[in-house]
Amino acid sequence: MQREDLLRKLNWFYSLEVSQVDLYMAQSRKFKGTYESIVFERTAAVEQQHVHNIAAAIRELGGEPHKIGDVISPLFGGLLGKTLAFTGLKKTLQANITIENKAMADYVALHEQVGEEFGSELQTVLQHNLVDEDVHTAWFAQRLADYELLGLPD
């Protein structure tokens, strides 16, 4: 993989991670007083670590991290991304699963593509971020399944 190509992909991840920090913090405020609110806040803290480690990887390659615009809305086919923080708990969990699934698929793909050529540190960062997203997805999915069982409205 070319360095420019890698930098472009890492910048996409950087944008996604920054967006997730904002989104999960907005959700935490929205559902204040619930257990989910705390989970969203702690999840945002993990995404913030991802922002830092992706930014460091970009700088290591001689690039400068920058946000490339709205990377969340396209996952929902348009404008929905902006309103995600303001829907009910079930819809919020579903949206989060969609976003985390996209992050996981892309971390897996890039991890396979980078190989050893850019160093094992980058591979480790991609793999560790992937594991974190996997854990987030599992919690969101289990919580959603519990609420489906309880018949909670969307």
30 vs 50 by CB, closer to Fe ion = 50
Cβ partners under 8 Å of residue 71, min gap 6: 12, 15, 16, 19
36 vs 133 by CB, closer to Fe ion = 133
Q: What residue type is assigned to position 93 of the chain?
A: L
What is the smallest separation between the CB atom of 121 and Fe ion, expressed in angstroms? 17
What is the smallest separation between the CB atom of 40 and Fe ion, expressed in angstroms? 11
Two structure tokens written together for 14: 């950087």
What is the smallest separation between the CB atom of 37 and Fe ion, expressed in angstroms? 16
What is the smallest separation between the CB atom of 153 and Fe ion, expressed in angstroms? 26
Q: In this structure, what DSSP letter does residue 75 have?
A: G
17 vs 36 by CB, closer to Fe ion = 17
Whole-Å CA distances, 102 to 21, 141, 149, 152: 16, 15, 26, 26
4 vs 67 by CB, closer to Fe ion = 67
Which residues of this protein are in contact with Fe ion, per CB under 5 A? 17, 47, 50, 100, 133, 136
